[in-house]
Structure 1
Amino acid sequence: MSFSGRYEVESQENYDAFMKLIGIPDDTIEKGRNFKYTTEVIQDGNNFTWSQIYPGHTLTNKFTTGQESELETMSGKKFKATVNLEGGKIVVDFPKYHHTSEIVGGNLVETSVAGGITFKRISKKVA
């Protein structure tokens, strides 16, 4: 299944608790809580360009599944990781959490897990 498309955040679960756990500052958590940001994914085979578009800022990671890539976290920290495609899910370990992305019913479902807290974000496809 292709991940390509443009998605807008529809709902989030455990946002505050998860962001605090991974060390995001309170003022950033407050600003980000109600952002209806967009995720844009361009997939060409195993090559991905994954952009999160926030008001005034865009974070873009480019990677090829199965190969080590340099990625950037929400807080701007760069790290190296191998992004894998497992059972139709994008799977990657960030420095402080495990993250999966999948398409469910046409929606982009992103799940991040750290310290017993699961943060889930569901975005609807708009293009």
Structure 2
Amino acid sequence: MPFDVAKMSGKWKFDSFSDNYPQVMDKMGVPSDRFEKVRATEFPLDISLQGNVMTSKLVYLGKTIENSLTMGEEGEENDTSGKKRMVTYTLEGDCLVSVYPDHDGKGLPVHTSRHFVDDDTIRMTIKAGDVEGWALIKRC
């Protein structure tokens, strides 16, 4: 079944992580104190796909982040830390995939794949360089 982008709209919270998920976040430059805040935060997400343009609005730790990107084409994305990064989003079977060829400005590739476990759970697998981990997020 293809990934339903609009089904991601709603309020989400991190539920569980692989044992090495903090190392994945560290590799991506996410400070440990920020990671702890993320673990306890609910975040509303509004996302849609019109044709091949994906539009998202995320409220995260008091900031609103909006992006509009064309599927299959590299584009600039505003991230939760306030940085802009180049990324390509694609739909690959039952997954929404994002590829950042240079996540940290030093050549670190990051690949994230998201798929629905059920209507209220998304599993994200993140590979940052040579470190890979996963997280489950649950609908609130």
| Structure 1 position 57, deviation (Å) | 1.0
Of residues 133, 136, 140, the one that matches 1:118 is 133
Q: Residues 33, 69 of structure 1: CA spacing in aligned structure 2 closer, same or farther, 3 A cutoff?
A: same
Residue ranges of structure 2 left out of the alignment (5+ in a row): none
Q: Map 1:30-45 to 2 at 5 A.
A: 30-45=36-51
Of residues 10, 17, 20, the one that matches 1:6 is 10
Letter in 2 for 1:3: V
- How does the TM-score come out when normalised to structure 1? 0.79
Give the distance between the partners of 2:95 and 2:134, measured in 1 at CA: 16
Letter in 1 for 2:74: E
What's 2:65 paired with?
A: 59
Q: Map 1:12-23 to 2 at 5 A.
A: 12-14=16-18, 15-23=21-29
Identity %: 26
Residue ranges of structure 1 left out of the alignment (5+ in a row): none
Count of aligned residue pairs for this structure pair? 125
Q: Residues 32, 105 of structure 1: CA spacing in aligned structure 2 closer, same or farther, 3 A cutoff?
A: closer
- SS of the residue corresponding to residue 35 of structure 2 reads helix
Structure 1 stretches of 4+ moved >3 Å: none
| 2:100 matches 1:91 | no
Give the distance between the partners of 2:99 and 2:14, measured in 1 at CA: 24
Contact 2:125-2:132 at 8 Å conserved across structures: no
| Structure 1 position 49, deviation (Å) | 1.3
- SS of the residue corresponding to residue 42 of structure 2 reads coil
Q: Map 1:44-83 to 2 at 5 A.
A: 44-83=50-89
| Structure 1 position 83, deviation (Å) | 1.4
Letter in 1 for 2:28: I
Contact 2:23-2:131 at 8 Å conserved across structures: no
Superposed CA deviations along residues 20-67 of structure 1, whole A, max 9, x for unmatched, are 221112332232221122332122232211233223112222112112
Q: Residues 102, 51 of structure 1: CA spacing in aligned structure 2 closer, same or farther, 3 A cutoff?
A: farther
